[in-house]
Amino acid sequence: MNLIASIKECIQAGHPVTVEQAKELYESATDDEIQALSLIAKARFHKLDEATYLIMSIVNYTNICVAKCSYCSFYRLPHDKEGYLLSEDDVSRKVSELKSLGGTLVGFNGGFHPKLRIEDYAKLFRGIRTRFPTLEFYEMTVAEFMFSCKVSRITYAEGARILKDSGTKWVTGGGAEILNDSFRKRHSPGKYSVKDYFDAQKEILDCGLGSTATMVIGFDESIDERFDHLNVLRDFQSMNHNNLASFLCWTYKPYNNELGGAEIPTIEYLRWLGICRIFLHNFRNIRTSVLTKNTDALIALKYGANDFDLPTEDEVTQKAGASISREFDAILKVASDLGFKVRHRSPWPTRIQ
């Protein structure tokens, strides 16, 4: 049996394809072949002519960070005059703006602030939730959570429990970039090891909080490093009852940081997202990134993605070169013109599989 036929058989049976199969597919198949297989995989969970979205913002409450990742354009070291830490009122103003634009979800994203303990985050999030009871919040990324637990000198289990008891529902999988230790040592040695990342994710899920999976491509990572990321993620998902709610892949923006480089072509992103849909057989929701690919991201709905955000702000990616449009109708028309019935959705529950 040839490669395409054997992968098709795996997908239809709901079985995982091997890294070797997926790598060969990525390296040798045509765009049409990857697209066709990704749609077979998507059809296990979703109608092929439908897509969902929500309007959301990423509120960056601090840019102070000590991790010094080479690919980051956002952070400022403590004592830098451009460093900031927003008050609850400042954060509220941003959330109000999102709400006035029809948004329903806020993701909080800051840096590795050396003085913020888990209780500080819990207090801020509780205050914001009280002010905006109808909105959903992704309250920390796993990476921030890990660092704050270290600052607080508590275990991840204790940190997750403190957040849960204060009303937190989500600590999401942001800050993952490429989950491969050699990549991490090259570009982000102060952030975490891959094992550490998944130890934290496990405690978050075990505590009953929701979480997600993310990936960023287009640095200088090798294809093998990308597949390491997908493989360890798929294994983690299988060992944890498929409880990660979604997988989102976006692209590195190379401006205003130490690493630099160039953006990858759109077709590389589309092919890779197709591979992600095929490989991650245990993820229902594969999301495409309007945040970094603008309307080109919507073509990925034809490469296995089923959902996207319409972002209203995110300083992290904008500092690195991303541009955000609030012309929501125009963006949605692109999806309609591609043949999709687009539906605004509510934020997902923390357990959706």
Distance CA 215, CA 317 (A): 14
- Least distance from C-beta 65 to ligand SF4, angstroms? 3
Distance CA 18, CA 231 (A): 9
- Least distance from C-beta 40 to ligand SF4, angstroms? 35
**Which residues in the 307-336 window bind ligand SF4 by CB under 6 A?**
none
Amino acid at 313: E
Q: Does 197 bind ligand SF4 (CB under 6 A)?
A: no
Length of the chain: 353
Tokens of 242: 């498929």
**Total number of residues that touch ligand SF4 (CB under 6 A):** 13
- Least distance from C-beta 102 to ligand SF4, angstroms? 28
Range 333-340 contact pairs with CB under 8 angstroms and sequence separation of 24 or more: 334/295, 334/298, 335/51, 335/53, 335/298, 335/301, 338/298, 338/299, 338/301, 338/302, 339/49, 340/49, 340/50, 340/51, 340/298, 340/301
Question: For ligand SF4, which residue of 67, 85, 154, 334 counts as binding (CB under 6 A)?
Answer: 67
- Least distance from C-beta 95 to ligand SF4, angstroms? 20
Question: Closest CB to ligand SF4 among 111 and 218?
Answer: 111
Question: For ligand SF4, which residue of 26, 53, 61, 74 counts as binding (CB under 6 A)?
Answer: 74
Distance CA 75, CA 207 (A): 30
- Least distance from C-beta 174 to ligand SF4, angstroms? 9
Question: Closest CB to ligand SF4 among 191 and 271?
Answer: 191
Site string for ligand SF4, 113-152 (x = CB under 6 A): ------------------------------x---------
| β-pair type (341-344, 307-311) | unpaired
**Which residues in the 230-289 window bind ligand SF4 by CB under 6 A?**
none
Question: Closest CB to ligand SF4 among 65 and 342?
Answer: 65
User: Interacting stretch for ligand SF4, rule CB under 6 A, among 14-22, 43-51, 68-76, 259-267?
Assistant: 68-76
Q: What is the CA radius of gyration of the chain?
A: 19
Q: Does 26 bind ligand SF4 (CB under 6 A)?
A: no
- Least distance from C-beta 341 to ligand SF4, angstroms? 36
User: Interacting stretch for ligand SF4, rule CB under 6 A, among 47-55, 64-72, 265-273, 280-288?
Assistant: 64-72
Question: Closest CB to ligand SF4 among 285 and 317?
Answer: 317
User: Interacting stretch for ligand SF4, rule CB under 6 A, among 60-68, 83-91, 303-311, 335-343?
Assistant: 60-68
Q: Does 191 bind ligand SF4 (CB under 6 A)?
A: yes
User: Interacting stretch for ligand SF4, rule CB under 6 A, among 61-69, 89-97, 272-280, 306-314?
Assistant: 61-69
Residues that bind ligand SF4 (CB under 6 A): 65, 67-69, 72, 74-75, 111-112, 143, 175, 188, 191
